Structure 1
Amino acid sequence: MEAPHVEECDRVDPDVSGRPSFMETRMTGRDRPGALRQGDGAPRMDWIRQFYEHLPDAVFFITERHRISACNRAAVALFGYEEDELLGQRIDFVWYPTPDVTLKGRWADRGVVRAGVAITRSGVQFPTALTIIREQDDKGHFSAVIFEDFRTERETLQHVQELQHELARLARIVALGEMTSTLAHELAQPLASIAAYAQGCGRLVKKHRHGHGEELCEALSEITQHALWAGKIVQNIREFAKRGADERKIEAMHALIHEATAFALAGSQRKGFCADFQLEAQRDVVLANRVQIVQVLTNLVRNAVEATDGIAQPHITIRTRTDDFSRLVVDVSDNGCGIAVDIEEALFRPFVTSKPRGLGMGLALSKRIIEAHGGRISARNRMESGSILSFSLPLVETTTNGERPHDPSR
């Protein structure tokens, strides 16, 4: 059975294809040295053998009967056979085509290229581009078959991809290192709430062993919610370290605001404290990671509450609105002491804080989360007193099934 790829290429005549002979582009007639016959069917012009002998790629000469008549040293080295073992064999002795694969080698402009797999004497297989170049000597037409080993390109590409994945993983590890302080900061609130409610339960049990079942159940419910929330924060960071990607869904911002405010104000019983909700945005649907956005809102509300320490009538306002760029804007304002001038420009940098016991990580993390969601975050002082922390997120029209998300606050 004849090798189909060789038969097809042997019927390509140089005159029909419009290409000159490969060797004719290299030497004129008077430059060509005398012929030295290599064997039956082999090229009779020694200069052809000399040229191909020194190529770094494996080269076989194929007769019109589709048999190997000669090869260069690179072919012997590549396939592991002695030259005598290759002579007289068809090309499919060391190679088979892969029609569904396309490879473009260095010799593509000089002949017909076929993608395939080479097989060495030891059984190793690797991708190759086989280029068949038509030549002619005084005996007639023959083909020079050049193999290009694509293992290096494939292995290099694979190595580059592995390095890219490793760099991405290292980048996440570095970011995770920065988030170590953030983790302590974020867990402080739910854990403090858990401790406060647990202590309250203990006091109720000691003081009144009977008659406080409803209060105990409420306190235990709060403990459970805050413990679960702390677990979600840890899980979110674990997922970030593992995959780098976060799960985003269609969310109603107004519902997230009420949820975050409940967490931020849990256990707060300051006299005269007032929280005002002005959720005026007609559209509040965003694509977001729920845990992360609730973290941001909790941070902003908590900062606003802490900024009103020492104020006779502490007051915070949470307002929503839409801007001219189809973005939802959330403003958290307070009537506290405002933002100190010396830290105003660096407010969102890690470890920048005006709190005596603060870590300075809450706003830095909030900035990273909002910007990762395609939004912006900013801070400014109010004209009268206090400050406003704002962030914006792109609005989306509906959920994937065409329905608006359920907002339990409505």
Structure 2
Amino acid sequence: MTRLGGIATFASRGANGYVLAVVAVGAALLARLGLEAFGKFYYLPLIPAVMLPALLASRGATVLAIILSIAANVALVPRESVVDGAVNAVLFACVGLAIGEFGRIGRAARANARALSARLSTRDATIGAILASAAVVSVDRRSRILSMSEPACALFGVREPDVLGRPFSDFVEFFDSAAERTSGADEFYWPGRRRDGEVFPVGIHTASIENPEGPPDTILTLTDLSRWRSAEARNQELRDQLNQVWRLNSLGEIAATLSHELNQPLTAAASYLQATQADLGRAGVFADSASRTVELAKNQVLRAGDIIRRARSLLAGDEHRLDPQRVSSMIDDLEPILQLLGPAAGAQLRIAVEDQADWVLADRIQFQQAIVNLVRNAIEAVADQPRRNVVILGQALSTTGYRISVEDSGPGIAPDQIDRMFKPLMTTKAGGMGLGLSVTRTIVERHGGALSVQTSDLGGAAFAFSLQRLPEPLP
């Protein structure tokens, strides 16, 4: 078999097929000469000379073998007539050509078989690799387990021999493969149950496989969604915390504004009541009752001022502590929220924060609220622009400072708007409350920094501030 394969390889190389045809005809003629002692064989010994190039070489080599065989036979074997020689030559040529076509078909079939075998081997290897790395379960029409891959066994904490024949609903509650095939959907989320009783979310992708001997079986590809659910819950918790801090900071700004605006009229009212009480004192005993009433009114005015100051102190959160934090870590926690803000407005958000020497003193939640406020404003600024780019930059400036900036490709900020844009309740956006930048500036100032705005390299605005950097990370 190996020798025949070598001959086939030799014959398949261009002119080598014609060499094979010449050699085969020569060998056949020698064989026929050796058989002359036993009778006249004419064309019969030459048939193998045609078959060999037909099976191993090209169509041209087969035709050459036929022509050489006919020429040799005509030259070496005398015939009774020209017609007899021509008829035998034509018959041999027809038989030779038929053998050649069958040989060509056979070679094509062998080539297709080799290619199909290679594809099947590749597919088997691919399927084997998938089964070795994916959680796959096959079930019958009654949702009984037929097989379970090693990752699927690890997912539920079981061994395959122990689960064969058991209902799949023992591991994924309420699952019914027949019902799911009827529903027409192909992906589901179910409560899975591990061997120790732990319940976890599992995603299931279904596919049916035809079974010639009965109803189709179902292949289930499983995905453990525990981490996804945990991350989703963490993101929701972070959003709730940020919203709560934002509301408190906003209320603190409102309280500060109201305290400032009401302080003067309350002080004036108390002064007027004090003057009235002095005038009533000069009126003698007849004004004692009115004086006591004025005193009560004055006390209530002073009490109102004290209530406002206490509310401001409470809502502003004057008692706060700065802890060692990593800027990269604080912004990484925000990335899921920030990445939702960008695509929602069609903006491209990029984060370029150096994670070297980025330990700072900060209130983690308030810092994150400031970043969210700045990014939200930047995304709103680029909403109507042809280029919608927003970038968060962070880098250490010195041994004592770390700079954070949020830049955008928006229209920028007019110089005459810079001072008023940080004032509470001042906004240019429809439906805005004018508290975002004011709250952000308050947060930055509580961290010992100052919020500034400049022109960004992107063409829009760049809001920047610095935090106190720690020289060495704390353990």
- Settle same-fold status: TM greater than 0.5: no
Q: TM-score range by the shorter chain?
A: 0.3 to 0.5
TM score, norm. by length of structure 2: 0.36
More helix by share: 2
Larger radius of gyration, structure 1 or 2?
2
The normalised TM-score by structure 1 is 0.41
- The structure in which a higher percent of residues are strand is 1
